[in-house]
A and B are shown apart, each in its own frame.
Chain A
């Protein structure tokens, strides 16, 4: 297995522009602009089987193909770097080490889409990444990889870094566009989809950092090679997995898509911490239902994870050992989502605080048996929120109800959290 995204990384610092160029950087861009049509770049992306790395896993090339090419006015490309999903930090690690892959990837995507203005919408806290990108853009412009008439191909692209004012909802693509336009970051109704009517009413593609950073490799070495980097024949490419929680080594690893959960934990993560036992994990960022020991051998790829009842999401894996109270974990997550609701629709704005309240009650030992029904009801009803935030927020609650019903009941019948019995609470 080759590293695709991390292969240029220096252990202690960001790679320089010259170093990147020396390691065949911008070769893909040169190849595309001198020998490929935009359609061919898009076709290569489709052929690679690349699925969006931002969480939803939508095929990237297909998304590009939805953009109508015959509408008047500009089209836009936005890189979504508002990485705020708890447990997810891959884009930060990538950009703090190497901003050029993204810049090259956006130039390629911009070429494929016929875009002249592209934006990088970056999380407020990612100061270093933003600084790297700003410097990288200037360097790329100077070298003629961005700006007017790139490599004498007639293709022009300006790239702008926009630092978000903050909030989780800005990662939702339509809310992101509202934020970029200077409006409140409320999601927009779909349809119309951004591919047809997006930023300032124009066709817009929003892609994740990791997605775009993979495009140079797909163009440079070909879609077939790129696809073959996965661990299984069904999967395509590599994936950045960011691991946190009770394992020996917590870091962001670039691994072949399709490795099983067990292989990841026992391999690069070096097993569970201090000999503790695996109890559960969040497989793909805070909004995905839990995996338990029974999912140990599920290949970490989009379809197998979905089949197992969760989502690969962003690849942010948070591991919990046998001493972890899953009610407390869920409460912590729900608290985050309730805080991060944009406040637009009722289920999210009012429903999540109610779920939070119920979980607080259960965790504190005041839960009643009907509380479980309330949680079930909310898993159902929060699906009908305006955007995907509330349904996502109920992912962990759904997992809690499916896999840890006994633990929940124990909280209620024992009138306290069983994991705190010896310490804080008297029962």
Chain B
């Protein structure tokens, strides 16, 4: 491990670290634009200049291009280095428009920060600025080329990291242009990351344009709920409206990026017609009264039919806390059934997949990125878990062999080909033994598990693509509480009434069954038929835990308070005419708290924290950091 001295501070860094990263490890931020941890060095912007005072390399050097070596003595504050960095900023500002007051990036702009930090304030260029024509890149990403500082991050991410072909660099010299051949929606399913990696305001989130400044946002570390991968995000909200979602770094999971679905599919949270009002028999009630109403009906029902005919239905898209509470409610009532999954076959597959994972073989996205042989079995990665497809691409770029196994594996027919793969019909055709870090990614929607059983016995790492953000957790709970798939309980004709907690049950499954109560923040089948409707908080409106496909528990924090977005208020609500404790539409609770209230009102104990017994280790889980892997030892 090389030892060097940066600004008089000795530091030892891992082999291969560059000087810029070494300085970062000391908390010294050397300005940089083109260098990005996920994209590596480019040497294009020249703003990371430092002075090498002693050692194998001397003089002014670009710290991103220089691998740390023993005996290096680095100064980031040397006059020559500071002057060079100031020059670079001056050059970049020659053509950069002074439109910060109306630029969406203002306040979260790397160029703004380094310009001010670098001390460039007096303009010595009095000529005309270069201008470009912007392109329409679709509904999600706005394009403002005049702001471009040509760091090449966008093109490097889009083409190299994400395999996109419809966006890149054209032109030369001062006319270098980053865009498409012609106007049109960016084709890559990862295009939104351009917004995150652009160090200035060329690419901004069109869906959140002109809505807020960085310092206006309410934001908190969160976890994406759109698939089972659990990519880390930072949702940003203002005035009770979720404005945008950005990627949050987690090296073990998503790295630096998220997919467009995770970034741009969150408008349901803001929908004015989202369930926000507790109802009993179609009439609006306060949450408190609605809960009492449900308790009343529940008591009647239990008296009439007995607890054996009641089912409590949880859901893989609900927080783990909510799902734990579902089991506790069922336990308390002696309910005949607790369900976490709808379909029998799917439930069996999921539970088996989770049972095959243990601490020694579960694979994270990071493991996938570093595998040298990957078999993708019976799943459409780009549809079921886009970021996993991106992880496979990184391994493939490093030379990993990729095999697509089975008939449900449309890797090559997908909209965009992220990696080359060899199609084989059976896992036995994949030379797993020839690889050092082999890995199998298997879907659970289709067949394929049969072949995995044999592989699970060997040392191959496994990643299963599950259904929802907390499917792993639900599978564990289902196993622990002997839960039944809901369709099975329907087939058995045991169930006469249910309480549905954020469950996506198809309407036909509910024929002849009373939906006593349904708690959800989305308009689902059970909610439409529920006698008591209990609106719940979306994930951004509560603290909670999701356990991702590999068994990694991750905490998400409350980003915003629930309630109708101010933007959606009508004359009935705005301006406010009376004092109230909640915002309009804000009289809602997280699902687990609704269940806790029910338990209390039914005579049970007061539960303040659902994470106890075997889940107690999650209590202190921080939302920052890699999360905690819950897989048992083999």
Residues of chain A whose beta carbon lies under 8 Å from any beta carbon of chain B: 167, 184, 189, 338-347, 349-351, 353-354, 357, 361, 370, 374, 377-378, 381, 384-386
Q: A357: which of B45, B83, B127, B172 is its contact (CB, 8 Å)?
A: B127
Q: Are B91 and A343 in contact (CB under 8 A)?
A: no
CA of A345 to CA of B47, assembled, Å: 10
Q: What distance in Å separates the Cβ of A265 from its nearest Cβ neighbour in chain B? A: 34
Known contacts A350-B91, A381-B83, A343 near B150 by CB under 8 Å? yes
Q: B173: which of A343, A347, A357, A378 is its contact (CB, 8 Å)?
A: A343
Known contacts A344-B152, A345-B43, A386-B46, A381 near B174 by CB under 8 Å? no
Q: Are A345 and B44 in contact (CB under 8 A)?
A: yes
Q: What distance in Å separates the Cβ of B505 from its nearest Cβ neighbour in chain A? A: 53
Q: Are A346 and B124 in contact (CB under 8 A)?
A: no
Query: Chain B residues with Cβ under 8 A from A370's Cβ?
Result: 124
Which partner residue on chain B sits nearest A348 by CB separation? B173
Q: Are A167 and B172 in contact (CB under 8 A)?
A: yes
Q: What distance in Å separates the Cβ of A347 from its nearest Cβ neighbour in chain B? A: 6
Query: Chain A residues with Cβ under 8 A from B124's Cβ?
Result: 354, 370, 374
Q: B46: which of A340, A342, A346, A374 is its contact (CB, 8 Å)?
A: A346
CA of A342 to CA of B126, assembled, Å: 24
Residues of chain B whose beta carbon lies under 8 Å from any beta carbon of chain A: 41, 43-47, 49, 60, 62, 65, 83-84, 87-88, 90-92, 94-95, 124-127, 149-150, 152, 169, 171-176
Which partner residue on chain B sits nearest A187 by CB separation? B43
Q: What distance in Å separates the Cβ of A381 from its nearest Cβ neighbour in chain B? A: 5
CA of A386 to CA of B62, assembled, Å: 10
Q: Are B62 and A384 in contact (CB under 8 A)?
A: yes
Query: Chain B residues with Cβ under 8 A from A353's Cβ?
Result: 94, 174
Query: Chain A residues with Cβ under 8 A from B65's Cβ?
Result: 189
CA of A351 to CA of B124, assembled, Å: 12
Q: Are B173 and A384 in contact (CB under 8 A)?
A: no
Query: Chain B residues with Cβ under 8 A from A339's Cβ?
Result: 173
Q: A354: which of B125, B150, B169, B171 is its contact (CB, 8 Å)?
A: B125
Q: Are A350 and B41 in contact (CB under 8 A)?
A: no
Q: What distance in Å separates the Cβ of A396 from its nearest Cβ neighbour in chain B? A: 18
Q: Are B150 and A381 in contact (CB under 8 A)?
A: no
Q: Are A349 and B173 in contact (CB under 8 A)?
A: yes
Q: Are A342 and B173 in contact (CB under 8 A)?
A: yes
Known contacts A374-B124, A384-B62, A346 near B88 by CB under 8 Å? yes
Q: Are A347 and B172 in contact (CB under 8 A)?
A: no
Q: What distance in Å separates the Cβ of A153 from its nearest Cβ neighbour in chain B? A: 37
Q: Are A351 and B127 in contact (CB under 8 A)?
A: no
Known contacts A357-B125, A357-B127, A341 near B92 by CB under 8 Å? no
Q: Are B60 and A384 in contact (CB under 8 A)?
A: yes
Which partner residue on chain B sits nearest A360 by CB separation? B127
Q: Are A346 and B47 in contact (CB under 8 A)?
A: yes
Q: Are B94 and A354 in contact (CB under 8 A)?
A: yes
Known contacts A338-B174, A343-B173, A350 near B84 by CB under 8 Å? no
Which partner residue on chain B sits nearest A338 by CB separation? B173
* Interface core residue of A344, A361, A370, A378 (most chain B CB under 10 Å): A344
Known contacts A189-B41, A357-B127, A342 near B172 by CB under 8 Å? yes
Which partner residue on chain B sits nearest A344 by CB separation? B44
Q: Which 4 interchain pairs have the tightest Cβ spacing? A: A350-B91, A343-B176, A341-B173, A381-B87
CA of A340 to CA of B171, assembled, Å: 11
* Interface core residue of B41, B49, B127 (most chain A CB under 10 Å): B127
Which partner residue on chain B sits nearest A377 by CB separation? B87
Q: What distance in Å separates the Cβ of B75 from its nearest Cβ neighbour in chain A? A: 15
Query: Chain A residues with Cβ under 8 A from B46's Cβ?
Result: 345-347, 384-386
CA of A353 to CA of B90, assembled, Å: 12
Q: B174: which of A345, A347, A350 is its contact (CB, 8 Å)?
A: A350
Known contacts A345-B46, A346-B45, A351 near B87 by CB under 8 Å? yes
Q: What distance in Å separates the Cβ of A298 from its nearest Cβ neighbour in chain B? A: 28
CA of A167 to CA of B124, assembled, Å: 30
Q: Are A350 and B94 in contact (CB under 8 A)?
A: yes
CA of A377 to CA of B80, assembled, Å: 11
Q: List 8 A-B contacts (CB under 8 A).
A: A342-B173, A345-B45, A346-B46, A346-B47, A346-B150, A349-B173, A349-B174, A384-B60
Q: What distance in Å separates the Cβ of A42 from its nearest Cβ neighbour in chain B? A: 30
CA of A386 to CA of B125, assembled, Å: 23
Known contacts A345-B44, A346-B44, A384 near B94 by CB under 8 Å? no
Known A338-B174, A346-B150; 19 more pairs at CB < 8 Å? A341-B172, A341-B173, A343-B171, A343-B174, A343-B175, A346-B46, A346-B47, A347-B87, A347-B88, A349-B150, A349-B176, A350-B94, A350-B174, A351-B91, A354-B125, A370-B124, A381-B83, A384-B62, A386-B46
CA of A354 to CA of B174, assembled, Å: 11
Q: What distance in Å separates the Cβ of A169 from its nearest Cβ neighbour in chain B? A: 8
Q: What distance in Å separates the Cβ of A333 from its nearest Cβ neighbour in chain B? A: 15
CA of A339 to CA of B94, assembled, Å: 17
CA of A353 to CA of B150, assembled, Å: 15
Query: Chain A residues with Cβ under 8 A from B175's Cβ?
Result: 343
* Interface core residue of A345, A354, A374 (most chain B CB under 10 Å): A345
Q: B84: which of A341, A345, A381, A386 is its contact (CB, 8 Å)?
A: A381
Which partner residue on chain A sits nearest B94 by CB separation? A350
Q: What distance in Å separates the Cβ of B146 from its nearest Cβ neighbour in chain A? A: 14
Query: Chain A residues with Cβ under 8 A from B169's Cβ?
Result: 184
Q: Are A386 and B172 in contact (CB under 8 A)?
A: no
Q: Are B44 and A386 in contact (CB under 8 A)?
A: yes
CA of A342 to CA of B44, assembled, Å: 11
CA of A357 to CA of B92, assembled, Å: 15
* Interface core residue of B60, B83, B150, B173 (most chain A CB under 10 Å): B173
Which partner residue on chain A sits nearest B152 by CB separation? A344
CA of A374 to CA of B83, assembled, Å: 12
Query: Chain B residues with Cβ under 8 A from A377's Cβ?
Result: 83, 87
CA of A374 to CA of B127, assembled, Å: 15
Q: What distance in Å separates the Cβ of A95 from its nearest Cβ neighbour in chain B? A: 26
Q: Are A346 and B91 in contact (CB under 8 A)?
A: yes
Which partner residue on chain B sits nearest A357 by CB separation? B127
Known contacts A384-B46, A386-B44, A350 near B95 by CB under 8 Å? yes
CA of A374 to CA of B65, assembled, Å: 27
Q: Are B44 and A354 in contact (CB under 8 A)?
A: no
CA of A187 to CA of B62, assembled, Å: 16
CA of A340 to CA of B175, assembled, Å: 11
Query: Chain B residues with Cβ under 8 A from A347's Cβ?
Result: 46, 87-88, 91
Query: Chain B residues with Cβ under 8 A from A378's Cβ?
Result: 87
